[in-house]
Structure 1
Amino acid sequence: MAGAALILVRHGRPAIDPATPSTTWPLCPEGREGCTKLAERVAAYAPTAVISSPEPKALQTARIIGDRVGLAVETDAGLHEHKRQQLSFGSEQAFRERIAAVFDKPSEPVGGVETAHAAAERLAATLARHEGAPLVAVTHGTILSVYLGEKLNCDAHDLWRSLHMPDAFVLDADGRLIERIS
């Protein structure tokens, strides 16, 4: 479809294992199925490149999309999630409360070494290093929400709460939202 420059994707649903770091979680069967459906919709935009965070859940999401559109996937560590290594997953409710603190204080390194603003800047710099239009970039929920919150002038925490796994945002060359695919 004409006009798309960037398709920013949040990875599919992972197989959550509280005993292991979230950075090692693969997709669950439901997550793979959701990514297959998303890939069909993304294919309509005829992407020319696919990049991904190196985390298994993101890389598997990107490979499902890449396979559908006939493109190899390039990994880039700049697409990894907001650095908050001191915030463990814990219960779903506890996790949501800890993430709320990240959005409430975007200029402070809540739970880690990186501010939410710095994460969004890292994502922007990573995207700028890659060519292709539309470019598919598979990343994670918090960094995607902070980046899009700033770009689309919307509340990043509200956006995060509304995210699906997977979810995709199609933007034009000026950074305007064309379509949300969820």
Structure 2
Amino acid sequence: MTGASLILVRHGRPAIDPDTPPTTWPLCPEGRAAVEALAGKIAGYRPVAVATSPEPKARETAEIIAGRLGLTIDIDPGLHEHKRQHLSFGTEAAFRERIASIFASPGEAVGGIETADEAGERLARALAQHKGRPLVAVTHGTVLSLYVAKLLGLDAHDLWRNLHTPDAFVLDAQGGLVERISLP
């Protein structure tokens, strides 16, 4: 496989605990197994570096992938999720409604201190700092959707609604899509 410059990965499925902040959730057993499968598919692109958000679910995802590839990980706070500390998880339906409001008002700080536009720009800046290519970068659903949608001319909310945990977008040096690797 050739042409890959960036492999942008959404973390594996977390162990959801509505009584704790999502920023503290680890992967669940099914999430770890799916990330193992994803790592096998990513290996064909011969990545040379792995960077990750510091959140446990992302870090664990990166550790599994890096372990499979024989690489170390670089923890990069710029790869974290959209800053929305004022939005709790709550019910699945309520969470989806709150996320929809973020995508509907990308220039407003809905539920947080960072707008959707700012989150996408932050992720782009963080990715640009990593020189090793192909790079595996493990991040989160909202910020990944904002970044990929802008590159590919897609609707970010539609993309977010169709993401899996894990999910990966293999992009070439010009930001074009080489392959999407989705694991339910």
TM-score, normalization by structure 2 = 0.98
Q: Is there any run of 5+ residues in structure 1 with no aligned partner, and where? A: none
Is 1:11 paired with 2:11? yes
1:19-168 aligned within 5 A: 19-168=19-168
Cα distance in 1, alignment partners of residues 53 and 179 from structure 2: 22
Specify the code of the residue in structure 2 equivalent to 1:41. K
SS of 1:38's equivalent in the other structure is helix
Deviation string 1:36-68 (CA, Å, 9 cap, x unpaired) is 000000001000000000000000000100001
SS of 2:5's equivalent in the other structure is strand
For the aligned residues, what is the CA RMSD? Answer: 0.4
Give the match for residue 175 of structure 2: 175
Number of residue pairs matched?
182
Q: CA deviation at 1:131?
A: 1.3
Q: Is there any run of 5+ residues in structure 2 with no aligned partner, and where? A: none
Q: CA deviation at 1:133?
A: 1.1
TM-score, normalization by structure 1 = 0.99
Specify the code of the residue in structure 2 equivalent to 1:157. H
Cα distance in 2, alignment partners of residues 124 and 162 from structure 1: 21
Give the match for residue 2 of structure 1: 2
Deviation string 1:139-166 (CA, Å, 9 cap, x unpaired) is 0000000111111110000000000000
Q: CA deviation at 1:27?
A: 0.1
Cα distance in 2, alignment partners of residues 59 and 131 from structure 1: 20
Deviation string 1:13-54 (CA, Å, 9 cap, x unpaired) is 000001111000000000000000000000010000000000
Cα distance in 2, alignment partners of residues 167 and 69 from structure 1: 18
SS of 1:4's equivalent in the other structure is coil
